[in-house]
Each structure stands twice: as structure tokens, then as C-alpha cells.
């Protein structure tokens, strides 16, 4: 039952962002940029396993994994403004993110980051 509630809450957040975006794209972007998923994930994780060391490791890893996802948004904005189709732009943005995640994992291991 908890899984269904979590999925419903996630769906509501995504639907709200999409509806807000129809009228005010920048407001929707602000809402989408809020770390709602991360905060909710941390709350659910804490309820399942209230362990400060585990939560600290999760929060730190989340920070490092957010960084390689950010360039996707800039790439998508540039591509869309240059007339590239949405689906190709989305695929390129996702591909860039996957590549940058791989770089982060590789660099993280070399720098001793707990990822």
C-alpha cells in the first residue's frame, strides 16, 4: 500500500508541474527544480531505516549525482532554440546525462567519493 501511495504522490507532483507549465513555464521550472523527489525519498528512506549514517551517505551521493544531470537542461534549451525536434533533443540530453554519470562514477572512485 505504501508503494501505491508513493507512486500516486509522485504522479500528482508530475501532473501539477505539467499543468502549471501550460500557463507559466518558468513557475513550472521552479517547482520542477525543487528537490521534492529527493526530500520525499529521504523521508521514505528515514521511515524505513532511521539511520543517520545511511541518510548522510544518501544525501552526499545525491549531491554528487545531481551535478552531472544539470548540463542536460542547458543542452536541451540550446538545441530546441536551434530548431532541433523535441524527441531528438530529449534523447541527446538523456545521453549526455548518462555519459556524465559515467564520468562522475569514474572520477568519484578516483577521488574517493562514496558513490
Distance (Å, rounded) from C-alpha 84 to C-alpha 68? 22
Look up residue 112 and give its three cell numbers: 574517493
Per DSSP, the three-state class of 24 is: coil
| pLDDT at residue 105 is higher than 90 | yes
Place 31 in a pLDDT band, splitting at 50, 70 and 90.
Answer: confident
Instruction: Write down the pLDDT at residue 33.
Output: 86
pLDDT tens digit string along 58-99?
A: 999 999 999 999 999 999 999 999 999 999 999 999 999 999
- CB count, 10 Å around CB of 89? 20
Confidence check: pLDDT of 6 > 90: no
Instruction: Report the mean per-residue pLDDT for the chain.
Output: 93
pTM of the model: 0.76
Amino acid at each position: 500500500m505504501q508503494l501505491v501511495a508513493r507512486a500516486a504522490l509522485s504522479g500528482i507532483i508530475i501532473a501539477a508541474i505539467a499543468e502549471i507549465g501550460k500557463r507559466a513555464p518558468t513557475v513550472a521550472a521552479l517547482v520542477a527544480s525543487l528537490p521534492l523527489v529527493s526530500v520525499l525519498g529521504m523521508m521514505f528512506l528515514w521511515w524505513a531505516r532511521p539511520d543517520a549514517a545511511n541518510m548522510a551517505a544518501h544525501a552526499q551521493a545525491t549531491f554528487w549525482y545531481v551535478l552531472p544531470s544539470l548540463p542536460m537542461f542547458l543542452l536541451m534549451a540550446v538545441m530546441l532554440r536551434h530548431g532541433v525536434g523535441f524527441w531528438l533533443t530529449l534523447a541527446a540530453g538523456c545521453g549526455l546525462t548518462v555519459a556524465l554519470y559515467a564520468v562522475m562514477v569514474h572520477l568519484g572512485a578516483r577521488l574517493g567519493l562514496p558513490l
